């Protein structure tokens, strides 16, 4: 992967022309300029790079918008960067607060707002009113740069400027040319140690993606690929352990649970009949023969101890005839010789309790299999004797309760760099680098020998983790820039820039 130090040393013609036009438009007059581009066009990098390198205004403010922020928070972030100890009402418009705090002084102000398409129409109208007011005051010069996605602010800007004879300016961030794509890729992967074949493949891949910085930075991210490979390598042992546990559990269930098929097997084995050849007369011979009385039919009995067969057995096909039609209807209770089976309450409660715990009910049946089932022998009794409900499943339920209460209630991990939240928001720091992984950030600190003065904190940009290296606690922007001269030459080569602690606090809060 590539740090921002390498990318900051890259000067592309399209970006240099855009920054030069911005510097020209904001040098002598007051304007509201919309800098629009598609997703991944590098708007955030251009906004911070212009504010640090190209802007020379006395008072500067950078606002990184977030969907969860309100208008009052936006006003607070801007005014805290303009005045060291501001006294204002966050519900008042920006123009009113700035006039009250800075109205009598000569004012040269630059406001840079990233992701400006997240601003509300009310705040956009306040920024436009501030620029219009500055154009009418001789000693005021106010420029507002709105970095946003293409077409997201056109509706609101046209509404606030309607009928005033002037409109906000708009600049478009274009895509890279083919030469700029190749240059961007070569510079970005200078320190990756790729051979000629890998570089050729990288250039071919770069021609297939969109020619924008966001897509190119994600191209062939070696460190991310290394993380994926490591995760894949650690997945195989975990999968093997899981499969082994499943096999052991299945074997334990098969060994220790009773086999319900064994009793039925023994019964079938004892009742198997002996194959005895029977001398049967075909049906056509029976039809031709004279009818015999039913008393002459020979019965065949097969006792359990053996089979008795009398000679000249006859085949009786009377069971094959349809049943006789009964003229009198069925009457309830006429002759009820069937037996009623009564299931004990203990068995019902045991089955319900065991099935509620995920069992099959066999244990409850085996427990009560030896107890006699009474209640059907006495015809006069229609209801079984009351039995106390079973409490077999109660211990297991009560035992599971304390286990659940011992689980951790939440994640108390400390956010990286949270100690920076203790620094007042009105102070400033020097940002030395922004990297995509914590290991790369530690390597940067170790390579430049700045462990005693540098601090690393984590943030989120486009839902991806970034690790920022900062140093210092300065009361003003000027003192922070003077402190830059005391840094090592290798760090100064990366052109550190000033960042307010209010912005650092907001970036740390994105991790929560």
Digit-coded pLDDT (tens) for 423-442: 999 899 999 998 989 999 99
Measured CA to CA, the distance from residue 170 to residue 22 in angstroms comes to 10
pLDDT of residue 378 exceeding 60: no
Distances (CA, A) of 384 to 341, 361, 366, 381: 11, 22, 21, 8
Measured CA to CA, the distance from residue 65 to residue 79 in angstroms comes to 15
Q: In what order do the strands lie in the sheet with 464-474?
A: 454-461, 464-474, 428-435, 497-500
Ramachandran category for residue 192: left, alpha or beta (phi over 0 → left; psi -120 to 50 → alpha): alpha
Token pair in block for residue 503? 């912005």
Contact, 82 vs 114, CB < 8 A? no
Nearest Cα neighbor of 469 from 454, 479, 487, 480 is 454
pLDDT-derived band at 315 (thresholds 50, 70, 90) equals low
Measured CA to CA, the distance from residue 78 to residue 63 in angstroms comes to 7
C-alpha 109: how far from chain center:
42
The CA angle 323-324-326, to the nearest 5 degrees, is 125
Pairing of strands 169-172, 32-37: parallel
pLDDT-derived band at 196 (thresholds 50, 70, 90) equals confident
pLDDT for res 354: 66
What letter would DSSP give residue 151? Answer: T
Taken as a whole, the chain contains a residue count of 512
pLDDT of residue 306 exceeding 60: no
Digit-coded pLDDT (tens) for 255-289: 777 555 444 444 444 444 444 444 444 444 444 44
Least confident segment among 55-64, 287-296, 338-347: 287-296
Average per-residue pLDDT in the chain? 73
Long-range contacts of 65-74 (CB under 8 A, 24+ apart): 65/113, 65/114, 65/115, 65/116, 65/118, 65/119, 66/115, 66/118, 66/506, 66/510, 67/118, 69/118, 71/120, 71/122, 71/123, 74/119, 74/123
Token pair in block for residue 174? 């274009």
Measured CA to CA, the distance from residue 400 to residue 408 in angstroms comes to 16
Find the helix or strand (DSSP H, E) in which 147 lies.
strand 140-149
Q: What sign has the CA pseudo-torsion 301, 304, 307, 310? A: negative
Measured CA to CA, the distance from residue 494 to residue 496 in angstroms comes to 6
Contact, 190 vs 5, CB < 8 A? no
Least confident segment among 200-214, 228-242, 325-339: 325-339
Pairing of strands 59-64, 32-37: unpaired
Q: What sign has the CA pseudo-torsion 206, 147, 106, 138? A: positive
pLDDT for res 396: 39
Residue owning tokens 């992984």: 437
pLDDT of residue 119 exceeding 60: yes
pLDDT-derived band at 121 (thresholds 50, 70, 90) equals very high
pLDDT of residue 144 exceeding 60: yes
Measured CA to CA, the distance from residue 34 to residue 153 in angstroms comes to 8
Contact, 344 vs 388, CB < 8 A? no
pLDDT-derived band at 239 (thresholds 50, 70, 90) equals confident
- pTM beyond 0.85: no
Beta bridge partner(s), residue 433 = 469
Digit-coded pLDDT (tens) for 449-476: 998 899 999 998 888 899 999 999 999 9
| Mean pLDDT (whole number) for 371-376 | 44
Beta bridge partner(s), residue 62 = 112
């Amino acid at each position: 992967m590539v740090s921002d130090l390498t990318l900051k040393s890259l000067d592309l013609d399209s970006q240099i022309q855009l920054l030069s036009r911005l510097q020209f438009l904001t040098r002598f007059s007051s304007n509201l300029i919309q800098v629009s581009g598609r997703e991944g066009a590098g708007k955030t990098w251009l906004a911070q790079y212009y504010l640090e390198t190209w802007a020379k205004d006395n008072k500067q403010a950078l606002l990184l918008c977030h969907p969860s922020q309100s208008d009052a928070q936006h006003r607070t972030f801007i005014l805290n960067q303009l005045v060291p100890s501001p006294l204002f009402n966050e519900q008042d418009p920006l123009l009113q607060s700035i006039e009250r705090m800075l109205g009598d002084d000569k004012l040269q102000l630059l406001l840079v707002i990233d992701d400006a398409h997240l601003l509300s129409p009310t705040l956009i109208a306040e920024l436009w009113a501030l620029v219009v007011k500055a154009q009418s005051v001789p000693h005021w010069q106010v420029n507002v740069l709105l970095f946003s996605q293409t077409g997201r602010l056109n509706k609101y800007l046209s509404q606030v400027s309607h009928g005033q004879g002037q409109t906000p300016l708009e600049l478009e961030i274009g895509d890279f040319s083919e030469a700029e794509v190749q240059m961007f890729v070569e510079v970005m992967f200078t320190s990756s140690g790729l051979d000629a074949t890998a570089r050729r493949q990288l250039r071919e891949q770069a021609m297939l993606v969109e020619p924008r910085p966001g897509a190119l930075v994600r191209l062939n991210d070696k460190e991310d690929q290394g993380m994926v490979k490591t995760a894949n390598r650690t997945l195989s042992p975990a999968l093997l352990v899981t499969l082994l546990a499943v096999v052991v559990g299945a074997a334990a269930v098969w060994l220790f649970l009773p086999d319900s098929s064994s009793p039925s097997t023994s019964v079938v084995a004892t009742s198997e009949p002996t194959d005895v050849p029977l001398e049967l007369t075909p049906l056509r011979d029976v039809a031709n023969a004279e009818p015999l009385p039913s008393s002459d039919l020979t019965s065949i009995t097969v006792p359990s101890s053996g089979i008795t067969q009398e000679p000249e057995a006859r085949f009786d096909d009377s069971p094959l005839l349809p049943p006789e039609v009964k003229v009198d209807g069925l009457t309830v209770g006429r002759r009820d010789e069937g037996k009623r089976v009564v299931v004990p309450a203990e068995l019902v409660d045991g089955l319900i309790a065991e099935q509620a715990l995920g069992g099959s009910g066999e244990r409850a049946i085996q427990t009560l299999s030896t107890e006699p089932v009474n209640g059907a022998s006495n015809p006069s009794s229609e209801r079984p004797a009351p039995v106390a409900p079973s409490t077999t499943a109660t211990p297991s339920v009560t035992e599971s309760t304390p286990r659940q209460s011992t689980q951790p209630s939440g994640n108390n991990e400390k956010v990286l760099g949270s100690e920076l939240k203790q620094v007042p928001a009105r102070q400033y720091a020097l940002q030395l680098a922004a990297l995509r992984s914590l290991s790369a950030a530690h390597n940067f600190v170790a390579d430049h020998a700045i462990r005693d003065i540098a601090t690393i904190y984590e943030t989120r940009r486009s839902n991806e983790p970034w690790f920022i290296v900062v140093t210092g606690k300065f009361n003003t922007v000027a003192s922070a820039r003077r402190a830059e001269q005391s840094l090592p030459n290798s760090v100064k080569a990366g052109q550190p820039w000033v960042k307010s602690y209010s912005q650092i606090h907001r970036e740390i809060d994105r991790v929560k």
